[in-house]
């Protein structure tokens, strides 16, 4: 569990009956040693007064974007820079909708858009509102944008309904807020000076001019890793198969289509890299012969036989490098025997670390914005170690994986210049 001591937490409170819990949450944050400043929406003040939060935190509570006194020195920008964590509790359906659309029409939403802080929210609303397709869509969008959602819980609600939508209890929020590697202060994760190369997405292996062999990889996990690495200051090169994703800011993207094209780019860049992360779902086989023209179906044809040949094993070849070998991280997408298959791959391909995930789980892995992972590596003494990351957004998981890589990177390994 990461220590809360000295953490700068900006607590946002929106208009819900659960706002009464925010007073207790502010008290717990202060008791844990956090610096706490509070922003309240106009509606939140109908449920709890700013004076209450001021008394608990010892800091003036901000309620208005257009406060002449506070804004004389661009106060909202200073607050945005000050915060290490923005925690919104409760987060109403209305606030989630506005943030999902990128609106900045009050002080709280403006701060969220102006800050690079870790962003966390604890949703709270009626169970029907939480289940509504619009709210679910907004929740997915927020998670894709990097927000961490804590809850909601299920149970009795103030309106008399029973179901999901209750804000997590303050003690549970505190536990979730500081228990994982992504809770580490931004300045404790530093990848400046590191050269990181990643592969992401699927490959396509042509059969003829209109058909190909491929898989369900969306590239989202690799792109989340590339974005997180760039955010931490690394020089990032992303070798990408065909995906429908925008290039993350600060990332150099190299587009490829086939496994052989990815193989050529990967071996060329691996020798220039401190860390190589093989996240792509590379096709194991390709057609021995690619038809010059579209393969036609005939009336007397009962079936079609394709002869496939092996593609080069990118990650294994990098693992076998004798000189200028980067710290090597592989991925294993499995549907059964997750740990045993991952351990075998870690050993057989001479990886330093492997990230294994069960793609048979509903809502996780291929195409999803969420993932869970088992991380396996060899420690400084060569002993096997592991860490399990429960289901979360790929953006948050990417930060956790990079934290583990930076922790495991040999101190003696020089960073490329």
Tokens of 336: 């059964």
Question: β-strand 308-310 against 285-287: which pairing, if any?
Answer: antiparallel
Q: Does the annotation place 318 within a ligand binding site?
A: no
Q: Does the annotation place 280 within a ligand binding site?
A: yes
- For residue 199, list its beta bridge partners: 239, 278
Instruction: Measure Cα distances from 126 to 20, 129, 167, 280 in Å.
Output: 16, 5, 10, 41
Q: Does the annotation place 310 within a ligand binding site?
A: no
**Separation CA 407–CA 78 (nearest Å):** 31
How far apart are the two ends of the chain, measured CA to CA in Å?
34
Report yes or no: 157 and 90 within 8 Å, Cβ to Cβ: no
Q: Is 112 a catalytic residue?
A: no
Report yes or no: 243 and 234 within 8 Å, Cβ to Cβ: no
**Separation CA 62–CA 7 (nearest Å):** 19
Report yes or no: 213 and 257 within 8 Å, Cβ to Cβ: no
Residues ≥6 apart with Cβ < 8 Å to 322: none
Q: Does the annotation place 278 within a ligand binding site?
A: yes
Q: Does the annotation place 116 within a ligand binding site?
A: no
Find the catalytic residue in 34, 112, 119, 159: 159
Instruction: Measure Cα distances from 287 to 140, 202, 210, 302 in Å.
Output: 38, 16, 14, 20
How many Cβ atoms from other residues are within 10 Å of residue 411's Cβ? 5
Q: Does the annotation place 315 within a ligand binding site?
A: yes
Candidates 374, 413, 394; CA nearest to 146 is 394
Query: What's phi and psi for 285, nearest 5 deg?
Result: -135, 160
Q: Does the annotation place 297 within a ligand binding site?
A: no
Q: Does the annotation place 345 within a ligand binding site?
A: yes
DSSP annotation of 312: P
**Separation CA 89–CA 121 (nearest Å):** 6
DSSP annotation of 59: S
Tokens of 114: 């102006």
Binding residue numbers for CTP = 278-280, 284, 294, 312-315, 331, 345, 349
Binding residue numbers = 278-280, 284, 294, 312-315, 331, 345, 349
Which are the catalytic amino acids?
159
């Amino acid at each position: 569990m990461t220590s809360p001591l000295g953490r700068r937490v900006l607590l946002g409170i929106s208009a819900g009956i659960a706002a009464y819990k925010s007073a207790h949450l502010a008290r717990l944050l202060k008791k844990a040693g956090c610096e706490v400043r509070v922003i309240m929406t106009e509606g939140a003040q109908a449920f709890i007064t700013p004076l209450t939060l001021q008394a608990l935190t010892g800091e003036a509570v901000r309620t208005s974007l257009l406060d002449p006194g506070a804004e004389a020195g661009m106060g909202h920008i200073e607050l945005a820079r000050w915060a290490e964590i923005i925690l919104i509790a409760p987060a109403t359906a209305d606030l989630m909708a506005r943030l999902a659309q990128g609106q900045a029409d009050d002080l709280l939403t403006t701060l969220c858009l102006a800050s690079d802080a870790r962003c966390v929210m604890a949703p709270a609303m009626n169970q029907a509102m939480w289940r509504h397709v619009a709210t679910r869509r907004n929740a997915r969008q927020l998670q894709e944008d990097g927000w961490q959602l804590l809850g909601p819980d299920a149970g009795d609600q103030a309106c008399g309904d029973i179901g999901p939508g209750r804000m997590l209890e303050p003690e549970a929020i505190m536990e979730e807020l500081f228990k994982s590697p992504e809770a580490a202060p931004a300045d404790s994760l530093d990848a400046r000076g590191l050269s990181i190369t990643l592969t992401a997405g699927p490959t396509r292996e042509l059969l003829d001019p209109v058909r190909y062999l491929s898989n369900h990889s969306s590239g989202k996990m690799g792109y989340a890793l590339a974005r997180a690495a760039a955010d931490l200051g690394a020089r990032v090169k992303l070798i990408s198969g065909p995906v429908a994703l925008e290039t993350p800011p600060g990332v150099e993207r190299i587009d490829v289509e086939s496994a052989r094209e990815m193989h050529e780019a990967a071996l060329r860049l691996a020798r220039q890299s401190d860390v190589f992360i093989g996240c792509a779902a590379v096709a194991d086989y390709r057609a021995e012969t690619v038809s010059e023209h579209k393969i036609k179906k005939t009336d007397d044809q009962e079936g079609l036989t394709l002869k496939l040949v092996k593609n080069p094993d990118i990650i294994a070849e990098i693992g076998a490098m004798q000189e200028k070998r980067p710290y090597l991280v592989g991925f294993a997408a499995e549907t059964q025997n997750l740990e045993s298959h991952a351990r075998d791959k870690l050993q057989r391909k001479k990886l330093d670390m492997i990230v294994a995930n069960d793609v048979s789980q509903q809502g996780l892995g291929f195409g999803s914005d969420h993932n869970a992972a088992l991380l396996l590596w060899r420690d400084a003494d060569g002993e096997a170690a592991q860490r399990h990351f429960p289901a979360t957004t790929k953006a948050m998981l990417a930060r956790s994986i990079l934290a583990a890589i930076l922790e495991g990177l040999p101190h003696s390994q020089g960073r490329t210049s």
